Structure 1
Amino acid sequence: MSYMPSTRHTALPDSFIEGLRQIVGGRLSTSPSELERMGRGECWHPSIPPQVGVYPESTEEVAALVKLAAAENVAVIAMGAGTSLEGHTAALHGGVCLDLSRMNEILELRAEDLDVTVQAGVTRQALNQYLRATGLFFPVDPGADATLGGMAATRASGTNAVRYGTMRENVLNLTVVLADGSVVKTASRARKSSAGYDLTRLFVGSEGTLGIVTEVTVRLAGIPEAESAAVCAFPDTASAITTATEIIQLGIPVARIEFIDDVGMATVNDFAGLDYAVAPTLFFDFHGTEAGVEEQAALASAMAHDNGGTDFRWASTREARNKLWQARHEFHYAILSRRPGGGIWGTDVCVPISRLTECILFAQHQAKRAPFMAVALGHVGDGNFHMSYLIDPDDDAERALADELASELAHHAIALGGTCTGEHGVGYGKSRYLAEEFGDTGVALMRKLKRALDPNDILNPGKILPPQS
């Protein structure tokens, strides 16, 4: 089973609480319900609340709060929208949670340079709403309406990554508060640089363990001239994934390729009143010029047909595309509807696309021994897929089996040259796989970086790096 810490912590000094109030005024909470929310993500991990929560509104306030915490050696956990999936915001060592959701200003849009700077608490949907009249959009879509600071901290990805990349490719620079309360800007706005270490990439994906992201500058993309979407059913999982793999290998510039297995499609049909084929299914999105989209769609259709694909459904208008993608967007809630009171134990891995079929078939085979529903969903254009195990959260045996299945999948993905997580991140839920994936020397180097930037281990302690005996 994954690491479970004690939730008993030394009481915070009254002087520390008073110091927090001097910085944020009334934007401080010790309400049990608020603290419980801060310690919980959208995952199977239990809530581990902080001892106090605050709501800063500027980089200066975050810096002052971290400086105070450093002086008192108090743990600091940053959070955004609370949509993380591997216990990222759990207060394993107590301390103070910095809820950055009120840092929600769009600071500067530079449409001519195709970039924008925002505070960390701006959500992707709020940003795209702001950009609507400019002809631009921010393309990274993890599904949840996450904050950009959280997306940078977890190196988020999502459905559009096959064409537009992940946060790693789309973050130009960051403003970061370090463990001593000092503030650093990690880069310029230039699209490339050979100057010094790549500090931006150091903090992208560091999950708040090396510094707290307070401002983010990201790339923007032009809204495509034309878009088209399609859904196609296949006789089996292997045929569907082979189609997706071949499309990528041939360089067809699809925007999205999503996979849902037959169990998932049956569930979505029942939940949303849809009538898709109950079969392994691919969802496609094509972006570009009218001629380009037409060509992409024709090539993808031909390849799907060669692999047994049937029941193609096409859509070009926004309304029709939204309806077509409804099954994909309803997936999480559809699965939950199958077991009232149940919970989804979710996990994800990513492998080289040539090994993707093998890895998904392995996961499906292993899940056959489970008494609960297990469903596969994939961003298969870049080799990333998820398994959702629908368990009774209060059943120790079901939790143990779900953990076992997720662990077997992580080990198998790493053995295939992949990673234990393509987009969920590590948190503390997947820290046990780091040594296997990077080797002892790789983990030791990460520990050196952590000690250099956070010598007293106050920034989100207990995350990413496996606990030492």
Structure 2
Amino acid sequence: MTPSIQAFLADLSRHLPAQRLLTDPLRTLAYGTDASFYRLVPQVVVLARSEAEVATLLLLAHVHRVPMTLRAAGTSLSGQAVSDSVLVLVNEGWTKQEVLDEGLRIRLQPGVIGQHANDTLRPYGRKIGPDPASIATARIGGMAANNSSGMCCGTAQNSYHTLSDLRVMLADGTVLDTSEPDSVAAFRTSHAGLLDGLLALSQRVHDNADLLARIRHKYRLKNTTGYGINALVDFDDPLDMLVHLMIGSEGTLGFIAGITYDTVPDLAHKASALVLFDTLDACCRAVTALKAQGRVAAVELVDRRSIAAVQGKPGMPDFMYGVLPGDAAALLIEVQAGDAAQLREHADAVDALVRSCEPAAHSGFATDPKVCDTYWALRKGLFPAVGAVRPVGSTCVIEDVAFPVERLAEGVRGLTELFDRFHYDEALVFGHALDGNLHFVFTPAFDSDAEVRRYSDFMDAVSQLVAVDFGGSLKAEHGTGRNVAPYVALEWGDDGYALMRDIKRLFDPAGLLNPDVIISAQSDIHLRHLKRLPAADPIVDTCIECGFCEPACPSNGLSLTPRQRIVLWRRIQQLRREPTPSSQEVQLLAELEAEYGWAGIDTCAATGMCATRCPVGINTGALMKQLKGPSEHEATADRIERHMGAVIGTARAGLGALQLAKRMIGSRSTHRLNEMAHKVIPVVPVVPAATPGPAAALPSLPTRAAATAVGQLNEVVYFVSCVNRCFAESPQGGDNLAQHTFSLFAKAGLTPVYPPNLSSLCCGQPFDSVNASGAADSALQRTNAALLQASRDGALPVYLDNAPCSLRLIEAQKAGQLDARLKLFDATRFLAERVLPRLKVIKQLARLAVHVPCATSKAGQRGDLLALARACAIELHVPDIACCGFAGSKGFTVPALNANGLRHLREALPQGCDGGVSTSRTCQIGLSTHSGLHYASIEALLDDCTVARSPHAIRRAGLAEAAPSNLQEAR
């Protein structure tokens, strides 16, 4: 750590708590990583929580002459979100949203995830304009600071053009909020010199005809190369110039503390089509025609190599598989409308135009959201998909250029020729064709001087081709960053670049805000600190560190995210392979290994939800389980598995004792004593506050006469999970989930059948989660035999009442560990298909919170759960919590993980919520503890809200003989 940063840190420690000032090697490397191909490790990482803290940071940075970079999500691709000095994270605590004017505007703090803003706006039929492919991860601060656009955004709906108001903090700590007249008036007085300086720069542009013409030409394209100097032309008021210069300034001019967007319509009706052309020229001619027609919302070009990169993915039309002509290309087209009739009109018109361009094949327009989502997921996953097949040790680079759309085919050919000349044979091209905006991806190694020189020569050639030969933009939407900083002068000329340097000096005369980004005196800044991705483990070697996984991780903010776990494991493995490590490397390795056990392995939920967000499906939890190794308590696990009935009985007795203690000394005192015991003896579990009492004994099986409610007999094997045999359904205890399930079955005319020796059965999930593989396999085989016997060798369906258990059994069957004849049903699917259609809803809750557990989401049953909940409630509230962090037994053994995963739950739920529902018993315990609501099972909710439909209604609906295959009525 440099002396200046040491002094800075000493002063800063008087203002911020130590736990938010990170200097250890594990966390500085982990938190310092972004999605770009640059690796800079900050000396200090600061977790800022308020504007006052950022103002203090700016003041101290100037006092000590310390460079500083502010960052939100770290999904940027060009090196603008990394630092080897001080990195300030503004995500946690910066997530306020305020809908204005009935959704016509929305005010957002910089830590809001873009998709969350759109979720908030959805009831109003609106959305924000920017729509980058990373919108489910990227945060508003970065989206505005980079002027991100996306697939449907074009140039008209980016942050620059949809900006309503801005709250910005300048380098001197002054806050300007354009939505507050007093703030504007005070700023005009206090910063008159800055505003006069902007007016002078604007006049310079207007006096320079060539520069003025260049600006007008460049910004008819997508362009984020350099500063947005179109602001000096588009506006007369220097205040408007200032706030629009902040858009796309990449944190080099100030800190965007809040932004108010004018929202855009989110048209509910959409249709998508894939169209294949034998030649690139024909494909690009179609793009030109589509742009002129003006009916399409988005057109994505995918070259032949891109098609080949995703040919193994399911969901594409048949014509996209197999051998394609060497010059083939495809278009992914979307049309949107306010109603179905208008959508059909648009789709027909576009379809006719496309067919007139003589495509090789055309999927036709699909309106099924699942089909459309599959098409677009394939397109969004192209960048990571290339990274996933790169040679181990190489780096994945994505660049982002724009050509005049009328020269699109020439531009693609020019790029392809450069790939061939520099032997980047793996490179592929795709992008937003309507705007002439193309991304190209390739995988240099950066492992030798020769490779770095090849990359440098290639970038020189690309810059000449795009910026000079075609008059395009070198960075269309990803921001200049470090990678294109040396080429800004080439694109803008000496006059334009001098103007940008003067803008930087005007806003940041000390040059401390995100140095070497956009403006750099180092002509080789794009070749410094290049990231290498060394081999670590086959499970994670395909990771390109994009960060898409992070919002799904419950340990995000507590310890490490999946991306950070991979980054650190790569570094550990690299250090272990050093043949002659230095003393510093030996010390670093020891420190990383000492910290990684808790931060990386112990606090990983290992539910695999990271894989659901990862474009290439990396399950970091699988690596953490592997690193944990076999259970140290395998023998104990074997004994528990053999005596499961007795263990469940003991656990129920313990829950009864806990309830008694709560009544005698109070819940708080009981919980404090429990926590103290856990600290002294870690094997003692922490029992969450909302843990219910013991479950009652399972109800007796009904007689056939009682079960035949609609004149027929339908038997169902009911596997009651061990967790539902242990914990009561109600908080007080004395009941169980099976009572509600029996009631629902009776209403639907179904007869439950228990598997033999049910009290001793377990799916094996508790053992598998702690790597006690022997006990897990034994439990699975016992359950397999019992279910086969009860189902008459698979003749009867099997109902599984706890989502993690059902996923475990269903996945085991797919893997060949369970008999293929068993007809296994997750509770949500069975209730949706075979129970709810036979029931009549008699009451609905006003507001219901819904949590979709990891297992339900991974099993693809999210839609069924929401449909069941929607039948019982007028309003559903589904916070974006991919994993609650209870993670099987971790809610009892690492309670901080569950608390961290649900730390935003209470504030995400509306006042007056009538309760919550979920499909995992342990998740319900954590949710109830951290929300203050009671989260019930889906069975209990349905049982409370329904009665049996009359036999006449059931016969009229055709349900008496066969169960329906869908749930259209409830949905």
1:36 deviates by 2.4
Cα distance in structure 1, aligned partners of 2:36 and 2:235: 38
Query: Are residues 1:450 and 2:492 paired?
Result: no
Structure ID, larger Rg: 2
Instruction: Determine the structure 2 residue equivalent to 1:31.
Output: 24
Deviations 1:274-329 (A, max 9, x none): 44244411111111133332233223222322323133222112222112223212
AA matched with 1:229: S
When structure 1 is superposed on structure 2, of 397-406 and 52-61 the one drifting more is 397-406
Deviations 1:328-382 (A, max 9, x none): 1221232123234243222111122112211111101221231540100111111
Identity of aligned residues (%): 29
Cα distance in structure 1, aligned partners of 2:93 and 2:157: 25
Query: Are residues 1:462 and 2:462 paired?
Result: no
Which of 348, 352, 370 does residue 298 from structure 1 map onto? Answer: 348
Cα distance in structure 2, aligned partners of 1:73 and 1:235: 58
| Kept in 2: contact 1:434–1:443 (CA 8 A) | yes
Instruction: Determine the structure 1 residue equivalent to 2:473.
Output: 419
| Kept in 2: contact 1:140–1:164 (CA 8 A) | no
Relative contact order: is structure 1 or structure 2 higher (C-alpha 8 Å, sep ≥ 6)? 1
AA matched with 2:336: H
Query: Are residues 1:287 and 2:336 paired?
Result: yes
Cα distance in structure 2, aligned partners of 1:359 and 1:435: 21
| Kept in 2: contact 1:152–1:205 (CA 8 A) | yes
Which of 382, 391, 399 does residue 331 from structure 1 map onto? Answer: 382
AA matched with 2:301: F
Which of 315, 339, 352 does residue 366 from structure 2 map onto? Answer: 315
Cα distance in structure 2, aligned partners of 1:227 and 1:164: 20
Instruction: Determine the structure 1 residue equivalent to 2:703.
Output: none
Instruction: Determine the structure 1 residue equivalent to 2:79.
Output: 87
Instruction: Determine the structure 2 residue equivalent to 1:156.
Output: 148
1:387 deviates by 1.0
For normalisation by structure 2, the TM-score amounts to 0.45
Please state whether the residue corresponding to 1:269 is helix, strand or coil: coil
- Pairs within 5 Å for 1:339-378: 339-341=390-392, 342-369=394-421, 370-378=423-431
Cα distance in structure 1, aligned partners of 2:375 and 2:467: 34
Cα distance in structure 2, aligned partners of 1:300 and 1:245: 13
1:268 deviates by 0.3
1:21 deviates by 2.7
Instruction: Determine the structure 2 residue equivalent to 1:406.
Output: 459
When structure 1 is superposed on structure 2, of 419-428 and 300-309 the one drifting more is 300-309
Cα distance in structure 2, aligned partners of 1:140 and 1:397: 39
What stretches of structure 1 of length at least 5 have no aligned partner?
Answer: 1-8
When structure 1 is superposed on structure 2, of 74-83 and 136-145 the one drifting more is 136-145
Which of 263, 267, 280 does residue 305 from structure 2 map onto? Answer: 263
Please state whether the residue corresponding to 1:339 is helix, strand or coil: coil
| Distance verdict in 2 for CA 1:396–1:142, change over 3 Å | farther
Cα distance in structure 2, aligned partners of 1:417 and 1:292: 38
Query: Are residues 1:229 and 2:288 paired?
Result: no
| Distance verdict in 2 for CA 1:225–1:125, change over 3 Å | closer
| Distance verdict in 2 for CA 1:310–1:219, change over 3 Å | farther
| Distance verdict in 2 for CA 1:318–1:22, change over 3 Å | farther
Deviations 1:110-137 (A, max 9, x none): 1425111111111102222233333322
| Distance verdict in 2 for CA 1:229–1:339, change over 3 Å | same
Please state whether the residue corresponding to 1:66 is helix, strand or coil: helix
Task: Let me know the Cα RMSD of the aligned residues.
Answer: 2.4
Query: Are residues 1:183 and 2:236 paired?
Result: no
1:142 deviates by 1.2
Instruction: Determine the structure 1 residue equivalent to 2:916.
Output: none
When structure 1 is superposed on structure 2, of 273-282 and 256-265 the one drifting more is 273-282
| Distance verdict in 2 for CA 1:398–1:377, change over 3 Å | farther
| Kept in 2: contact 1:38–1:89 (CA 8 A) | no
Please state whether the residue corresponding to 1:359 is helix, strand or coil: helix
1:37 deviates by 3.8
Cα distance in structure 2, aligned partners of 1:113 and 1:324: 29
Cα distance in structure 1, aligned partners of 2:24 and 2:99: 37
Cα distance in structure 2, aligned partners of 1:396 and 1:234: 40
Instruction: Determine the structure 2 residue equivalent to 1:169.
Output: 161
| Kept in 2: contact 1:35–1:49 (CA 8 A) | yes
| Kept in 2: contact 1:269–1:327 (CA 8 A) | no
Cα distance in structure 2, aligned partners of 1:371 and 1:164: 34
| Kept in 1: contact 2:171–2:507 (CA 8 A) | yes
1:403 deviates by 3.8
AA matched with 2:383: H
| Kept in 2: contact 1:38–1:82 (CA 8 A) | no
Cα distance in structure 1, aligned partners of 2:449 and 2:342: 52
When structure 1 is superposed on structure 2, of 386-395 and 423-432 the one drifting more is 386-395
| Distance verdict in 2 for CA 1:429–1:21, change over 3 Å | same
| Kept in 2: contact 1:349–1:410 (CA 8 A) | no
Query: Are residues 1:77 and 2:69 paired?
Result: yes
Which of 120, 128, 135 does residue 125 from structure 2 map onto? Answer: 135
| Distance verdict in 2 for CA 1:227–1:100, change over 3 Å | same
1:430 deviates by 0.3
Cα distance in structure 1, aligned partners of 2:373 and 2:88: 36
Please state whether the residue corresponding to 1:315 is helix, strand or coil: coil
Instruction: Determine the structure 2 residue equivalent to 1:432.
Output: 486
Query: Where is the strand percentage greater, Structure 1 or Structure 2?
Result: 1
When structure 1 is superposed on structure 2, of 399-408 and 55-64 the one drifting more is 399-408
Cα distance in structure 1, aligned partners of 2:98 and 2:151: 27
| Kept in 1: contact 2:306–2:428 (CA 8 A) | yes
| Kept in 1: contact 2:148–2:478 (CA 8 A) | yes
| Kept in 2: contact 1:138–1:221 (CA 8 A) | yes
When structure 1 is superposed on structure 2, of 446-455 and 227-236 the one drifting more is 446-455
Please state whether the residue corresponding to 2:13 is helix, strand or coil: helix
Instruction: Determine the structure 2 residue equivalent to 1:3.
Output: none
| Kept in 2: contact 1:271–1:334 (CA 8 A) | no
Instruction: Determine the structure 2 residue equivalent to 1:249.
Output: 292
1:441 deviates by 1.6
What stretches of structure 2 of length at least 5 have no aligned partner?
Answer: 182-233, 524-971
AA matched with 1:180: D
- Pairs within 5 Å for 1:376-391: 376-391=429-444
Cα distance in structure 2, aligned partners of 1:383 and 1:363: 13
1:228 deviates by 0.8
For normalisation by structure 1, the TM-score amounts to 0.90
1:104 deviates by 3.2
When structure 1 is superposed on structure 2, of 14-23 and 220-229 the one drifting more is 14-23
Cα distance in structure 2, aligned partners of 1:245 and 1:168: 25
Cα distance in structure 2, aligned partners of 1:233 and 1:397: 38
Please state whether the residue corresponding to 2:500 is helix, strand or coil: helix
Cα distance in structure 2, aligned partners of 1:77 and 1:297: 46
| Kept in 1: contact 2:315–2:375 (CA 8 A) | no
